[in-house]
Amino acid sequence: MNPDPMLRQMRLRLWLAAALPAVLVMLVLLVLFVQRHSFELLQAQQHQAQAVAKQLASQAEFALFAADVQTLQRLAGATKDSDDDLVAVALRAANGHFQAGAGRFGAQLPDFSGNRVHLNGDRLWVIYEVRSQLMAVDDPLAAGLLESGVAESVVLGYVALEYDLSALQRSSRQLLLWALAATGLALVLAALLSALIASSVTRPVAHISDVVRRIGGGQLQARADVERCGPMAQLASGINRMASQVAVTQEELMQQVQQATDELRLQKLEAERTARTDGLTGLLRRRAFIELAEAEIQRSLRYEDPLSFIMFDVDHFKFINDNHGHPCGDAALVHLAELLREQMRDSDLPCRWGGEEFVVLLPRTSADVARHAAERIRSHFEANPVRWKDRSLRVTASFGVAAFDARDISLSSMVARADTALYRAKRNGRNRVEVAEGGFAAGLEQPTA
């Protein structure tokens, strides 16, 4: 990044840090003010509407009592003409038999019951009851209806008013626009002031950053001008000292990096070897074997080459561990692995499958040839006992052989068939070879001695 864009970005960040909180507070205060002002205007409009409804109800009381529709119509028209925001007036008797009005309501009014104020978008509805006070007198005919001297309120009808709040809402929007304009002006002024303040900070930072960039690019002789850095002079001095130390020790650091790289490469190779081979026997681990076996299966399918699989298990291995100790068992496994490698071709894939169980994949090998190979390995184990301390231990193994069956291209299927043959060898007396059914050369299977 060259100095100019970096300088502009830093100035922008300084401006945001200094001016933005104040602007946000101003915006919040202005919005609250506008909302408060709009609410007060609406409240004033509602109070005015209720006062008009109450006054009209008082004027229309006798006309409703006398069912004077003409007078009611005149009162409705006069009330509507008195206010430009009043778009409709309605007077209705309590029994609904007659009604007078002026203007047209924008929507269906709510039920005429009680005194209420209803706000619907840009419309304000006011429903007000017209009541008449009936005064009881000493007339014996009224005595049965009212107690003497007590007044009862009777609903004669209702007044309905509809106000258009569009002008009120326009006033609120205009106020909001003025508030936003004032905020925008304040923002511009704050930006100018912040730019003046930020320039005194960003110039030294830009100079130091340029020096650091040049040092990072290999110009180890670049140095910061401490006198130009003002309050950041201490930082500039530290960078100069750092550059001097880097220039002096660069060759040493490069040598250390090269040495560390070589060690890391060796460690990586060792880790890869450890991950693929068994630490005790040096044979392939199960995961690495499966990867290679899957590739051999694909090659066998492509070229229609035979492929065989041998699985063997050390006989009575638990007895060896229990009677001679686990170190003796480990020595037996290492010895068998060495004997196994002696009998393998370069293309064969021997693997420690798990515990005392081993497998071998034989590419380009039929079941009959694999059976003979397994018999050769078995005989080699039998003829070469394990030397442990001052004793010689005869260690044998049972073998199961399976040929790859193209009808089932799964490695697990071939392993399962070899495992079945292995357990048949154990049931038939151990230290023997059994061939599984199926595979390219299933017909060559012969009993072993």
Q: Which amino acid is at 28?
A: V
CB 420 within 8 A of CB 436: yes
CB 367 within 8 A of CB 403: yes
Q: Which amino acid is at 266?
A: L
Q: For residue 364, what are the contacts with CB-CB under 8 A and spacing of at least 6?
A: 305, 306, 307, 347
Q: Number of C-alpha atoms within 13 angstroms, CB side, residue 237?
A: 6
Structural tokens at position 284: 């392939």
- Which H/E stretch holds residue 181? helix 166-216
Is 147 among the catalytic positions? no
Q: Number of C-alpha atoms within 13 angstroms, CB side, residue 443?
A: 1
CB 360 within 8 A of CB 308: no
Burial of 377 (0-12, 13-18, 19+ CB in 10 A): buried
Q: Which amino acid is at 62?
A: F
Structural tokens at position 290: 């499966």
Give me the sign of the Cα torsion angle 56, 58, 59, 63: positive
To which residue do tokens 């609406």 refer? 42
Distances in whole angstroms, Cα of residue 47 to Cα of each of 40, 101, 166: 10, 22, 17
Please tell me which residue in 129, 162, 296, 356 is annotated as part of the active site. 356
CB 173 within 8 A of CB 9: no
Distances in whole angstroms, Cα of residue 78 to Cα of each of 54, 56, 352: 15, 10, 108
3-state SS record for 236-247: HHHHHHHHHHHH
Q: Which amino acid is at 37?
A: H
Q: Which residues are catalytic?
A: 356
